[in-house]
Amino acid sequence: MIRHINKKNMTRWTRFFIVLIVGVGLGLLYGWVINPVEYVNTTIDSLREDYKADYVLMVAEVYHANQNLEWALNRLALLGYETPQDGLEAALTFAAQAGYSSSDLDLLKELNAALGGND
């Protein structure tokens, strides 16, 4: 059984898709250009776990370069964990599971050892 598509049905579908595309376009324009979300006065502890691990890695890289443990402890304390060591251990666990490079893991382990943590 062959079904005939008449011009009226075709016009209805065409209008539907045009309205759909225009609606999505206007929604994206409003959300990205006219009134985008602005985060103000956020803290490091509001980061996702992967970004926290990247932050800890950056702290470990700076620690490796300057060996300033007090500076590293102050930066790790900003993560909102009970202790800086807890934040570092969480980052180490995440980094191992996420497949960070061995050189990155070595930097994290170096900072962990400096804090007196287990390897």
How many Cα atoms sit within 13 Å of 58 on the Cβ side?
9
**Domain extents in the chain:** 1-38, 44-114
Cα(first)–Cα(last) distance of the chain, in Å? 72
pLDDT score recorded for residue 5: 58
**Residue 84 contacts residue 76 (beta carbons within 8 Å):** yes
Those residues whose C-beta lies under 8 Å from the C-beta of residue 8, and which sit 6 or more positions away, are none
- Per-residue pLDDT tens digits for 5-56: 566 667 888 889 999 999 999 999 999 999 998 878 888 888 899 999 999 9
pTM of the model: 0.67
- Per-residue pLDDT tens digits for 44-89: 888 899 999 999 999 999 999 999 999 999 999 999 899 999 999 9
Q: Residue 90 CB: number of other CB atoms within 10 A?
A: 16
| 44 vs 109 pLDDT, higher one | 109
